[in-house]
Amino acid sequence: MTSFQFELHAVDPATKARVGTWHTPHGPVDTPAFMPVGTLATVKGLTPDQLRLTGAQQVLANTYHLALRPGADVVAELGGLHRFMNWDGPMLTDSGGFQVFSLAKLTKINDEKVVFRSHIDGSLLELSPETAVRIQEQLGADCIMCLDECPPHDAPTEAMRTAVDRTTLWAARCRDAQRRTDQALFGIVQGGVHQEFRERSANGLLPLEFPGYAIGGLSVGESPQQMYDTLDFTVPMLPQHKPRYLMGVGRPIDLIEGVLRGIDLFDCVMPTRNGRNATAFTSQGVVKMRNLKHRTDPSPLDPDCACPVCRQFSRAYLRHLFMAEEMLGPILLSWHNLAYYQRLLSDLRDAIRAGTSQQFRAVQLARWEQSV
């Protein structure tokens, strides 16, 4: 077996949902999988041991942010990202392409490169396809991403075409710049919510024969239905025998909808960001921990969850932590939310094997619609 191999084990005949294993140099990933986001070489608030207890197998970090601090040279000198953050499982690094969108006011872009003005101290950081690959090779993640341009979903036609063509141009340069053979370089399909541009992007990327393909440029302001419609026509463009990664998504329902359309990998800051802001995802729906009704509630956060948070602490205690502004509150809710995401996808993998992914979706929607 090569270092990277994607095995398909089951496909639900009623949907496009599939179960597989993505083999990497640092171990296997059961798909469909959710990757917690550790932008700065840390999933906020959790130690690696706590992260493993959530069931997470692969985590994500960010090229742009790590290049600014502590610097890719520092990470490389200290043994690479796995050793630096003490995570021995698979890792993926984004290329910095999303920051072209999210930090648009701080960037200048042309076909050669992107120039960022640091959001930290105003210094300049240049990212070309070649430097994005070099930095990711220094960081040492198992999966690395091509530098791309992520346009707004409502970008004018000419701007969307430019972004798609630039993404294809940069993908070829990234592939040519890659030197390490122990990292899987993924191409990123762009094109907003427009089928013709998604086809244009896929047609440019597929001949480059990347070991995996991502769908970028979604969850950037379009409606959920627009995202689902875009997946309906984009996923069939991608190879059956390679992993498909939907970048930056999302809510629990978005994960289910994506899986039923054939997506294998997800990442999003939502479980930890919402956890830090006193919002929990549960089997019965979203719980706002600052609500007064939880003040004397001795019940667990989620009676259907076996994570340490739900086994050991009451809703009343969790609310107290947030009202008292104790740092343990955000830590515990982030821990639970990540465990909930992992269990959701584990249960969904079981449903796919059983051929009941449609029923799984219906049951989850019915439960979430109940008031908490």
Q: Which of 94, 142, 148, 302 is catalytic?
A: 94
Closest of 291, 261, 271, 280 to residue 341, by C-alpha:
271
Q: Give the helix/strand (H/E) hosting 266.
A: strand 265-268
- Single-letter amino acid, residue 192: G
Q: Please report which helix (H) or strand (E) contains residue 259, including its range.
A: helix 252-260
Task: State the burial class of residue 114 (Cβ atoms within 10 Å of its Cβ: 0-12, 13-18, 19+).
Answer: buried
How far is Cα 367 from Cα 342, in angstroms, rounded to an integer? 18
Does the annotation mark 12 as catalytic?
no
Based on the residue annotation, tell me whether 267 is a catalytic residue of this protein: yes
- Inter-residue contact 45 to 326 (CB < 8 Å): no
As a whole number of angstroms, the longest Cα–Cα distance in the chain is: 61
User: For residues 208-244, b (16+ Cβ closer than 10 Å) or e, as one string?
Assistant: bebbbbbbbbbbbebeeeebbebbeebbebbeeebbb
Q: How many residues does the chain have?
A: 372
Q: Which of 12, 148, 264, 267 is catalytic?
A: 267
Distance CA 147, CA 159 (A): 17
Catalytic residues: 94, 267
